[in-house]
Amino acid sequence: MREYQQKHTIETALYSRVTIVILFLLIVILLRSIMELNDKRLAVKKLKEDSAQERQDLQTKVEKAKEKTAAIATPRGFEEYVRTTYPVVQEGEGVIVIYDGDASPVAPVKADMTIWERLQIYLQSIFAKT
């Protein structure tokens, strides 16, 4: 009889509404923490992909820098680097300037200006001096 009473008290305690509510709240809390961990896992995965992409970009930059360094190591590459970086010339060299008459930076002046446009220009010149 005692065994039955003990079993009955345990079953009554386990199946009571308070116990079920506590277990439900515990499950909700655990699910919430699992969802937060999943969000963190996704964030870490994104960071990992970004860092892998950045590492790849840096490796390509290093390769380009090594190629440029190897090119500068030769006399011809050094001369090309210096000429493109600094405005220098060797003795006996000159500069040829080609003027393109069609691409003039000066805009044509309007011949038929109205009185208001002339007045505006005049007032701008007066107030610009002061």
106 three-state secondary structure: coil
Residue 60: both structure tokens together: 């390509």
**89 touches 95 (CB < 8 A):** yes
Res. 7 pLDDT band, cuts 50 70 90: confident
Q: What pLDDT digit, counting tens, does each position of 11-34 carry?
A: 787 778 888 999 999 999 999 999
Q: How far apart are CA 89 and CA 83, in angstroms?
A: 7
Res. 103 pLDDT band, cuts 50 70 90: low
Residue 28: both structure tokens together: 């909700």
Q: Which residue has the higher pLDDT, 34 or 105?
A: 34
Res. 106 pLDDT band, cuts 50 70 90: low
pLDDT given at position 94? 76
**72 touches 78 (CB < 8 A):** yes
Residue 9: both structure tokens together: 């008290």
For residue 108, the 8-state DSSP code is: P
Which of 76, 75, 78 is CA-nearest to residue 86?
78
Q: What is the mean pLDDT of residues 28-47?
A: 97
pLDDT given at position 91? 82
